[in-house]
C-alpha cells in the first residue's frame, strides 16, 4: 500500500503497478455499493436533514444516481457556525503537538481509504483513476505537510530580542477562531481537505461548504477526519446551496477567515466584501488562463507531451490547465503535427476504466461552453485542428463527453483570454521569445505557466519575466499542471490569487494564524 501511494502523484501519470490497480478495482466495488443512498449532514455530530434532499447524478452516466443529499438551510449554517464558535476555545487551547498528532492520524485514515475514495471521486466528478488517486493522496500529503510546518517552526512561537535583562519577548502565531472553506468540484478532496487541514492544525475550527458536484466526497472527507480523531465540534460539513449556505458563511460575522476556490468573479466579490466591521483574511484562488511557450530550441517530444497532459488532464477542468500555447515559427508546424497526433490517440470514456485518460466534463453547461467555443473559433476565422464535437456513441451517449480539441484562432479572439474549463487548447505561431512572453503575460490571470527550451539563457529569461505563481520548465509530465505538497507550492499572482502565499508551500499555514507580540518583565 505504501509503495502504491508514493508512486501516485500528478507527475507520475502512468502506473504499471498491478497491485495498485487491483486495489483500485476493489475500491470501485466498494464505492458502487455506496451509490443511490440518502445522506444527511452533521452539525456538531448531530444528524441533520435540512429542508429535504437533492439528487446528484454522475457525469459519466446521467442515469446513475450518486445519492440523495440533504439540503442545508441558512439556519443549519448558522447552527454550524455557532457550534464551531463554541468549540473554538477548546480546540485552539489544545496543545499544537496534540493537534498535529490528530491531524496526522486523520491523514493516515485518508491514505488507508485511498482506493475507495478515488473510485468514488471518479464516479462523482469524472476524474480518471490516476488523477483521482493523486487527488486523495494530495489531500493527505497537504495535511502532513502543514503538520510538518508547525513542527519545524515549534508551533510558530519564537523568542525575540530584549532591551533589558528582565525583559522577555516572544512572537507567537495564534489561530483566528472560526474558518470557512468553500471548495470546488474539480479537486473535491484536495481543495476541501487541504485548506480545512491547514486551518484545523493551526487551531481554527472549520465550516466547509463543498460544491454540489462533490457532496459525497466531502462527506467522506468528514468521516475520515473525524474517524482520525478530529472532534466533531471542530469540523462541520454542510451540503446545501451556495445561495444560502455559502452566503451565510460569507456574511456571518462569527466567521473569522475564509478560503474560497472558484471563479474570478465570485472570488473578487468575496475578497472585496467579506470583511465588514474590521479586516478579516480571505484566501481566494480564482483560476487561470495558463500559457505554455515553445521556442525553436525546444525538445518537441517533451513539449507536446507536456502540453497534451496539461490541456486534457481531467478534461481541462483544472485551474492550472494549459489553454494557450505560443510556438516559435520555425518549429510551429512540427509541434502542431505532433500534438495533434498524440492527442488524437487519447482514450475518452468511463474514467473508472484503467485505459481511459479523459472522462466526461462536469455538466451540461460545460458541454455548451465547449461547443460554443468551437463555433466561435470557426465563425471568427479560426480553424479546428482536432476534435470539436460532442461524443454521443454507445454508452457515452448517456454521459457528458466531448472531444479533446485543438484550435488555431486569431490572437484577439476570446479563446485566448477567457477561462473555459473544458478540454480546449489554442495554438499560435510567434516570431520571437519577446512576442511570446508579451502574449503570455497579457492576461488578468497569473496562476501557472510552462516553458520548453534547451537554451539556459532562454530558460532564465522566462523564469525572470513570466508573471505567474507556479512555473515549469521542460516538464514532460505536464506543461502547467501537477503541483505537489512540499515540492511545488501552488498559488497564483494577479487575478488568480489574493494572498501571494501558495498551498503546499512554506508560507501557507501561517495565513490561518495571526501574530501576537508578548512581553513579560521580570524584575
Which residues in 284-300 are b (16+ Cβ under 10 Å) and which e? bbbbbbbbbbbbbbbeb
- The tens digit of pLDDT for each residue in 367-390 reads 999 999 999 999 999 999 999 999
Lookup: cell for 411: 490572437
Distance between first and last Cα of the chain:
58
Residue 171 sits in the same domain as residue 155: yes
Residue 439 sits in the same domain as residue 424: yes
Residues in the chain: 523
Q: HSE (CB half, 13 Å, CA atoms) of 88? A: 21
Cα 446 to chain centroid, rounded: 15
Regions of the chain short of the pLDDT cut 70: 1-8, 10-15
Q: Which residues are catalytic?
A: 285, 319
Judge whether 489 and 505 are in contact, CB under 8 Å.
yes
What residues form DSSP beta bridges with 167? 521
SS3 assignment, position 47: strand
Residue 245 sits in the same domain as residue 358: no
Gap between the Cα atoms of 371 and 361, Å rounded: 12
Judge whether 100 and 230 are in contact, CB under 8 Å.
no
> Percent helix, strand and coil across the chain, each rounded to 5?
45, 20, 35
Residue 355 sits in the same domain as residue 253: no
Lookup: cell for 482: 501537477
Residue 242 sits in the same domain as residue 226: yes
Alpha-carbon distances of 500 from 209, 266, 461, rounded to whole Å: 23, 18, 22
Angle at Cα 24 formed by Cα 181 and Cα 10, nearest 5°?
55
Judge whether 421 and 262 are in contact, CB under 8 Å.
no
What residues form DSSP beta bridges with 175? 513
Lookup: cell for 81: 457556525
Q: Which of 199, 196, 201 is nearest to 182 (CA)?
A: 196
Residue 503 is classified by DSSP as B
Report if residue 192 sits inside a domain. yes
Question: Residue 211's domain is classified under what CATH number?
Answer: 3.40.605.10
Gap between the Cα atoms of 116 and 31, Å rounded: 6
Report if residue 491 sits inside a domain. no
Cα 517 to chain centroid, rounded: 34
Judge whether 208 and 42 are in contact, CB under 8 Å.
no
Torsion of CA 15, 19, 24, 27, to 10 degrees: -160
Residue 80 sits in the same domain as residue 53: yes
Q: Which of 388, 390, 392 is nearest to 379 (CA)?
A: 388
Residue 32 sits in the same domain as residue 129: yes
Q: Which of 340, 409, 419 is nearest to 374 (CA)?
A: 409
Neighbours of 200 (CB within 10 A): 27
SS3 assignment, position 188: coil
Residue 417 sits in the same domain as residue 509: no
What residues form DSSP beta bridges with 284? 260
Backbone angles phi, psi at 501, to 5 degrees: -120, 130
Neighbours of 132 (CB within 10 A): 32
Residue 203 sits in the same domain as residue 311: no
Report if residue 81 sits inside a domain. yes
Report if residue 470 sits inside a domain. yes
Neighbours of 108 (CB within 10 A): 15
Judge whether 91 and 233 are in contact, CB under 8 Å.
yes
Count the domains in the chain: 2
Judge whether 192 and 183 are in contact, CB under 8 Å.
yes
Report if residue 187 sits inside a domain. yes
Judge whether 308 and 347 are in contact, CB under 8 Å.
no
Residue 314 sits in the same domain as residue 270: no
Residue 294 sits in the same domain as residue 282: no
Judge whether 349 and 401 are in contact, CB under 8 Å.
yes
Q: What is the pTM of this model?
A: 0.96
Gap between the Cα atoms of 76 and 85, Å rounded: 14
Question: Residue 298's domain is classified under what CATH number?
Answer: 3.40.309.10
Residue 122 sits in the same domain as residue 13: yes
Neighbours of 520 (CB within 10 A): 9
Instruction: Report the pLDDT value the prediction gives residue 17, as an integer from 0 to 100.
Output: 82
CA dihedral over 317, 321, 324, 330, signed as positive or negative:
negative
Report if residue 489 sits inside a domain. no
Lookup: cell for 289: 488562463
Instruction: Report the pLDDT value the prediction gives residue 11, as an integer from 0 to 100.
Output: 61
Report if residue 490 sits inside a domain. no
Instruction: Report the pLDDT value the prediction gives residue 18, as an integer from 0 to 100.
Output: 87
Q: Give the residue numbers spanning the domain of 412.
A: 290-484
Lookup: cell for 218: 466531502
Report if residue 368 sits inside a domain. yes
Amino acid at each position: 500500500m505504501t509503495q502504491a501511494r508514493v508512486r501516485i502523484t500528478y507527475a507520475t501519470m502512468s502506473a504499471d503497478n498491478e497491485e495498485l490497480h487491483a486495489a483500485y478495482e476493489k475500491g470501485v466495488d466498494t464505492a458502487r455499493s455506496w451509490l443511490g443512498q440518502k445522506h444527511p449532514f452533521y452539525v456538531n455530530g448531530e444528524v441533520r436533514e435540512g429542508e429535504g434532499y437533492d439528487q446528484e447524478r454522475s457525469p459519466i452516466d446521467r442515469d446513475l444516481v450518486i445519492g440523495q443529499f440533504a439540503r442545508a438551510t441558512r439556519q443549519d449554517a448558522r447552527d454550524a457556525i455557532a457550534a464551531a464558535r463554541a468549540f473554538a476555545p477548546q480546540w485552539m487551547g489544545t496543545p499544537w503537538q496534540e493537534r498535529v498528532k490528530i491531524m496526522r492520524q486523520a491523514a493516515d485514515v485518508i491514505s488507508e481509504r485511498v482506493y475507495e475514495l478515488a473510485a468514488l471521486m471518479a464516479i462523482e466528478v469524472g476524474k480518471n483513476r490516476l488523477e483521482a488517486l493523486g487527488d486523495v493522496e494530495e489531500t493527505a500529503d497537504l495535511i502532513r505537510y502543514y503538520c510538518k510546518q508547525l513542527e519545524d517552526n515549534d508551533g510558530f512561537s519564537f523568542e525575540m530580542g530584549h532591551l533589558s535583562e528582565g525583559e522577555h519577548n516572544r512572537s507567537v502565531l495564534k489561530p483566528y477562531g472560526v474558518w470557512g472553506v468553500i471548495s470546488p468540484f474539480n479537486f473535491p478532496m484536495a481543495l476541501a481537505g487541504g485548506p480545512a487541514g491547514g486551518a484545523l492544525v493551526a487551531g481554527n475550527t472549520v465550516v466547509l461548504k463543498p460544491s454540489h458536484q462533490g457532496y459525497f466526497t466531502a462527506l467522506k472527507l468528514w468521516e475520515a477526519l473525524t474517524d482520525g480523531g478530529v472532534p466533531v465540534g471542530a469540523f462541520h460539513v454542510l451540503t446545501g446551496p451556495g445561495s444560502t449556505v455559502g452566503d451565510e458563511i460569507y456574511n456571518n460575522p462569527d466567521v473569522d477567515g475564509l478560503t474560497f476556490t472558484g471563479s474570478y468573479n465570485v472570488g473578487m466579490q468575496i475578497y472585496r466584501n467579506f470583511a465588514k466591521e474590521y479586516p478579516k483574511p480571505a484566501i481566494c484562488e480564482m483560476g487561470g488562463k495558463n500559457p505554455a511557450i515553445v521556442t525553436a530550441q525546444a525538445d518537441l517530444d517533451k513539449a507536446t507531451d507536456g502540453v497534451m497532459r496539461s490541456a486534457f488532464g481531467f478534461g481541462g477542468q483544472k485551474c492550472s490547465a494549459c489553454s494557450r500555447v505560443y510556438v516559435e515559427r520555425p518549429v510551429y508546424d512540427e509541434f502542431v503535427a505532433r500534438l495533434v497526433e498524440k492527442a488524437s490517440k487519447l482514450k475518452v470514456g468511463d474514467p473508472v476504466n484503467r485505459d481511459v485518460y479523459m472522462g466526461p466534463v462536469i455538466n451540461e453547461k460545460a458541454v455548451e461552453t465547449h461547443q460554443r467555443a468551437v463555433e466561435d473559433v470557426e465563425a471568427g476565422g479560426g480553424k479546428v485542428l482536432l476534435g470539436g464535437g460532442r461524443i454521443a456513441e454507445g454508452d457515452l451517449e448517456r454521459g457528458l463527453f466531448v472531444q479533446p480539441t485543438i484550435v488555431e484562432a486569431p490572437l484577439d479572439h476570446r479563446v485566448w483570454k477567457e477561462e473555459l474549463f473544458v478540454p480546449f487548447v489554442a495554438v499560435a505561431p510567434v516570431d520571437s521569445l519577446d512576442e511570446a512572453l508579451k502574449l503570455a503575460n497579457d492576461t488578468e490571470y497569473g496562476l501557472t505557466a510552462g516553458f520548453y527550451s534547451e537554451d539556459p539563457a532562454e530558460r532564465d529569461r522566462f523564469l525572470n519575466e513570466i508573471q505567474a505563481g507556479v512555473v515549469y520548465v521542460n516538464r514532460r509530465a505536464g506543461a502547467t499542471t501537477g503541483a505537489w505538497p512540499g515540492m511545488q507550492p501552488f498559488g497564483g499572482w494577479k487575478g488568480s490569487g489574493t494572498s501571494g502565499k501558495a498551498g503546499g508551500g512554506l508560507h501557507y499555514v501561517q495565513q490561518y494564524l495571526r501574530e501576537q507580540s508578548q512581553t513579560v518583565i521580570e524584575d
